[in-house]
């Protein structure tokens, strides 16, 4: 079955500390992985896409096919990083459509 697992519901860190939000997936095929973020009172927005291999707001994520993981990392957390983070997999496909399969999300809380 296609599935995305985010084992941590809440992650609390101090400002300046490293952050790693875990994401594991189950998918038979070549997946496309994403991280979406939702700041307080804002809509869900794309943070990272694995095929882009870029760093956004200091965050990076590497797709590890051997471990079926796509963990999100940032070396020094900032208070403005506090938000809900969702890992998502592009799985089911129908012609051009690629519906997303989301994990349950991890709340990141960064305090000073």
Partner 1 sequence: GAGVSQSPRYKVAKRGQDVALRCDPISGHVSLFWYQQALGQGPEFLTYFQNEAQLDKSGLPSDRFFAERPEGSVSTLKIQRTQQEDSAVYLCASSLEGQPQHFGDGTRLSIL
Per CB under 8 A, which region of 18-26, 63-71, 75-83, 97-105 contacts partner 1? Answer: 97-105
**Contact residue for partner 1 among 23, 25, 31, 34 (CB under 8 A):** 34
Paired tokens of 70: 């796509």
Instruction: Using the minimum distance from each CB to partner 1, give the nearer residue, 13 or 100.
Output: 100
Among 45, 64, 109, 111, binds partner 1 (CB under 8 A): 45
| Greatest CA separation for the chain | 48
Contact (Cβ atoms closer than 8 angstroms) between residue 33 and residue 86: no
* 8 A C-beta contact, residue 74 and residue 58: yes
Other CB atoms closer than 10 Å to residue 107's CB: what's the count? 15
CB of 108 to partner 1, least distance (A): 15
Pick from 9, 14, 1, 6: nearest CA to 69 = 6
Provide the mask over 46-65, with x wherever binding to partner 1 is found by CB under 8 A and - wherever it is not.
x--x----------------
* Residue ranges binding partner 1 (CB under 8 A): 4, 34, 36, 43-46, 49, 86, 88, 92, 94-105
């Amino acid at each position: 079955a296609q599935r995305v697992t985010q084992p941590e519901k809440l992650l609390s860190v101090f400002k300046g500390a490293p952050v790693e939000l875990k994401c594991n997936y189950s998918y038979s095929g070549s997946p496309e992985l994403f991280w979406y973020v939702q700041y307080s009172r804002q809509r869900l927005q794309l943070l990272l896409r694995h095929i882009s291999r870029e760093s956004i707001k200091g965050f990076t994520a590497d797709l590890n096919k051997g471990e079926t993981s796509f963990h999100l990392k940032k070396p020094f957390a900032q208070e403005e990083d506090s938000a809900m983070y969702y890992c998502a997999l592009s799985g089911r496909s129908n012609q051009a459509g690629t519906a997303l399969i989301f994990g349950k999300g991890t709340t990141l809380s960064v305090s000073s």
